Structure 1
Amino acid sequence: MKNFILKSISFVFHPLIMPLLGVIFYFSKTPRFIPEPVMKAKIFSIVILTIILPILLFFLLKTINKVDSIYLKTTKERLIPLLINSIIIALILIRVLQPDEIIELYYFFLGILCSNIACLILAFLKIKASIHMIAASGFSMFAMALGIHYQININGTIALIMIVLGAIATSRLHLKAHSNNELIVGLLVGFFPQLLLLNYWL
């Protein structure tokens, strides 16, 4: 049962869903008026580009033996998926989230792009960072920044985020997917781009 729960945590909080969670969290907390059709269009675009498209491309890469599993266990396996994901995020920044429209989400995704590129560089250097922790810590920083930006009480959300971060780290260690150092590197790679970009929108 314990093994099943920890595996489920890695699956439920997969990095692919974190950008969507950030978008949904933003729309649920922002006091700005954003027409419902606009919100639905943005969410739909994000689902297609950050979840469905990467899954389809993963199966293509698996078919041609470029990757072995969705968890990308080796640095070599990570190179092509991270490059593709960086291109997808850049496309979102160009076509879906312009800075003069929803500036908070634009810089959230710019932070995601920076983290992706940093992870790609590390993979080229044969340094493995936890992509789960990169995605979760990036979302965490963005969520906390939104609370400060809009001066709203999200203490409960922050507490839940800390629990989830701990659960993800525990899951990855239990499954022997990462070492402590790889989790720490992932945490920093996800956290710092979001933190540094706060100067442009907070």
Structure 2
Amino acid sequence: MNRILKSISYIFHPLLMPLLGVVFYFSKTPRFIPEPLMKAKLFSVTILTVILPILLFYLLKTINKVQSIHLESVHERRIPLIINSFIILLILIRVLPIDEITELYFFFIGILISTITCFVLAIVKFKASIHMIASAGFFMFAVALAIHFKININGTIALMCIILGAIATSRLHLKAHSPIELLVGFFVGLLPQLILLNYWM
């Protein structure tokens, strides 16, 4: 059981959630999007949200700024969160500008707000769960897309709820977070996506 719960933290790592949101959008949107454009966006988002952060993590680990990919202490979260904020800004400016794919633009605006909020919490020495922030943001975006495009994804939503519960259980079992840190993380991830619905739905 310990191995299963530990693996959940890796399988649903926060680095993967932005890419998952983009994949989910392209798989559900009824709009025609040329395949070369889709592939270009997916490639760019993969490089910037997965590959680049991993490379930067190993750089930070080499210079003893971080110890674990889960950023277990409040102090070691600050630099990665600042770097991630700049990466998200780069995506918003160069990869997903507002006039191309509006839904994804506001999805990443929500991610940026959540990241900055998490950084502010780290400054005041509160360790909100980044796992819950990322997964809750993706969950809210997926639900919003289902309503926006009028598609039935009840099975997917039910599965996402189970996954959210599994992630929270995993983080508690590993003693990575307290219940309040998980709850705060959930709302830090969900609320920006919910508020931004006013701008694209």
User: Normalising to structure 2: TM-score of the pair?
Assistant: 1.00
TM-fit CA distance, 1:98: 0.8
Task: Determine the structure 2 residue equivalent to 1:126.
Answer: 125
- CA deviation map 1:68-117 (0-9, x unaligned): 10010111000000000000000000000011110000000000000000
- CA deviation map 1:41-90 (0-9, x unaligned): 00000000000000000000000000010010111000000000000000
Say whether residues 1:71 and 2:85 are aligned partners: no
Q: 2: CA distance between counterparts of 1:82 and 1:26? A: 25
TM-fit CA distance, 1:183: 0.1
Task: Determine the structure 1 residue equivalent to 2:20.
Answer: 21
Between the aligned residues of both structures, percent identity stands at 73
Task: Determine the structure 1 residue equivalent to 2:192.
Answer: 193
Task: Determine the structure 2 residue equivalent to 1:50.
Answer: 49
Say whether residues 1:38 and 2:7 are aligned partners: no
Q: 2: CA distance between counterparts of 1:157 and 1:142? A: 13
Q: 2: CA distance between counterparts of 1:93 and 1:30? A: 20
Equivalenced residues, count: 201
Task: Determine the structure 2 residue equivalent to 1:145.
Answer: 144
Q: 2: CA distance between counterparts of 1:198 and 1:45? A: 25
TM-fit CA distance, 1:169: 0.2
Say whether residues 1:97 and 2:96 are aligned partners: yes
- CA deviation map 1:105-151 (0-9, x unaligned): 00000000000000000000101100000000000000000000000
Q: 2: CA distance between counterparts of 1:189 and 1:118? A: 7
Q: 2: CA distance between counterparts of 1:4 and 1:74? A: 22
Instruction: Indicate the RMSD between aligned Cα atoms, in angstroms.
Output: 0.3
Q: 1: CA distance between counterparts of 2:155 and 2:106? A: 24
Q: Where do 5+ consecutive residues of structure 1 fail to align?
A: none
Task: Determine the structure 1 residue equivalent to 2:61.
Answer: 62
TM-fit CA distance, 1:20: 0.4
Say whether residues 1:84 and 2:83 are aligned partners: yes
TM-fit CA distance, 1:154: 0.6
Task: Determine the structure 2 residue equivalent to 1:178.
Answer: 177
Q: Secondary structure at the match of 1:65?
A: coil
User: AA paired with 2:139?
Assistant: S
4+ residue segments displaced more than 4 Å: none
Task: Determine the structure 2 residue equivalent to 1:135.
Answer: 134
- CA deviation map 1:14-33 (0-9, x unaligned): 00000000000000000000
